[in-house]
Amino acid sequence: MCGIIGMVAKGPVNQALYDGLTVLQHRGQDAAGIMTYDNGHLHLRKDNGLVRDVFRTRHMVQLKGNIGIGHVRYPTAGCASSAEAQPFYVNSPFGISLAHNGNLVNAEKLKRDLFLEDLRHINTESDSEVLLNVFAHELAVQNKLRIDENDIFDAVAGVHRRCRGAYAAVAMINGYGVVGFRDPHGIRPVCFGERETELGMEYLIASESVALDVLGFRLVRELDPGEAIYIDMDGNLHSRQCADNPVHAPCIFEYVYLARPDSMIDDIAVYKSRLRMGQRLAAKIEREWADHDIDVVIPIPDTSRTVALELASRLGITYREGFIKNRYIARTFIMPGQTQRKKSVRQKLNPIELEFKGKNVLLVDDSIVRGTTSQQIIQMARDEGAAKVYFASAAPPVRYPNVYGIDMPSPQELIAHGRSDEEICQAIGADRLIYQDLNDLVAAVRQGNKSLQQFDCSCFNGEYITGDVSPEYLAEIEKKRSDDAKQKKEANLAATMELYNHT
């Protein structure tokens, strides 16, 4: 999960890209970057850290130009190294930079093909660099000194033929403009909007519509799966379907957790989809636990608030805020290591004793992934004097790895993998555990857009929408991307840096 943004304007874009990335910060807190183009010159600033920490005034004034792209990173692969901060850049052809959200499931094969056949070198472990080089090669093989929108769309079609997995991307071609494209399944979100100025129309491409709202752009629509749009230097917009057989199947976890509630994704209001999740979760409690003794419903801030409020309303139970969140601590789910996640939970949440003491409490969260956070929060509720602690999840059990850009690589790190609901309940220390049914989750989201026939629900049901995820691939990513593997990479990087500093 990352955030991408691209803009073609009539004036400087540096401040707008910065503001847009701050709104997309929830999609990645590991690194941030902006690249702009101005009169034949590129300007780049990227580094580890939050947007507000990466960009200072001295950096902003150097990001000149009326077109640019930006990225906030969350590391599904590799490690938290500034070498993997985006955008990435290749010099040939024309000079192309790219920012990417998602994950390519055939990245290793592509890397070999790029080296042996396309004569291109990949310098990092990031599949985003692979995607950039595939796009660059597909543009280069056309062997043209000057290109137009048809050449660009043909290059995107070549990307679709070669790349497998999830990718929503923005690319900037020096002297030509900005391109946005989405994989043929539309797994990761990307939309575009327009803003009319005295000098003409300006365009913005972003992961979520909330970035458009904040910057005063009108949402035009989401990119269709397989579609590409190209905004040239003069502000003319071109679009084309570049995939042969697109099948729309967006990631349902975007609606559960990843996206902001004030975003629209594929014509579905994320906020309303979460209200419906609460309604259906309440209906399950009424159906299977009619004689419940719940005194109060308390959300785990922030994502689950909408679900919990609607659930409490439907059940006629008191809703209370029982945890106060420290907003200066990053989202624990997208932290790079388990040790850091464990440490941050008590720093992030502080309970209000009077909302727990002597009460039967139903805690509501958006999902349970590794179980670490849930276990600690349940214990916090008990420490504050709760008589009983029940736990409800707005999502079904997360039993399988996600290979499309969410950090769920190892089945052994998922608390629901190989466990029954009762065993999970015991493992997290709850008195009762209520999971949303998958059919109810799909129905709650799809109600906002009946034209959507399917979703990628692979982390819940193990059915990978691209149809090309093998057991061997799952074993390989578990070996490379587990928390243990990431910690070893971080340790090796730290040791290398220490050696470098002493030489």
- Token pair belonging to 21: 């990335």
Amino acid letter for position 379: Q
CB-neighbour burial class of residue 438 (10 A; exposed 0-12, middle 13-18, buried 19+):
middle
Q: Where are the beta strands (DSSP E) in 29-119?
A: 31-38, 41-48, 67-73, 88-90, 96-104
Of 2, 79, 425, 459, the active-site residue reads 2
What SS3 class is residue 478? Answer: helix
Element holding 404 (H helix, E strand): none
Cis peptide before 93 (omega within 30 of 0): yes
- Token pair belonging to 397: 């059990």
In this structure, what is the dihedral angle of CA atoms 28, 29, 31, 32, given to the nearest 10 degrees?
Answer: 70
Neighbours of 58 (CB within 10 A): 8
2 is catalytic: yes
DSSP labels, 42-53? EEEEEEES-HHH
Is 366 marked as a binding-site residue? yes
CA 400 – CA 411 distance, rounded (Å): 6
CA 20 – CA 361 distance, rounded (Å): 38
**Secondary structure of 141-183 in HEC code, one letter for each residue:** CCCCCCCCHHHHHHHHHHHHHHCCEEEEEEEEECCCEEEEEEC
Residue 214 · residue 204 · CB < 8 Å: no
Is 151 marked as a binding-site residue? no
Is 365 marked as a binding-site residue? yes
Instruction: Give binding residues as ranges.
Output: 303, 365-366
Instruction: Give binding residues for Mg(2+) as ranges.
Output: 303, 365-366
Residues serving a catalytic function are 2
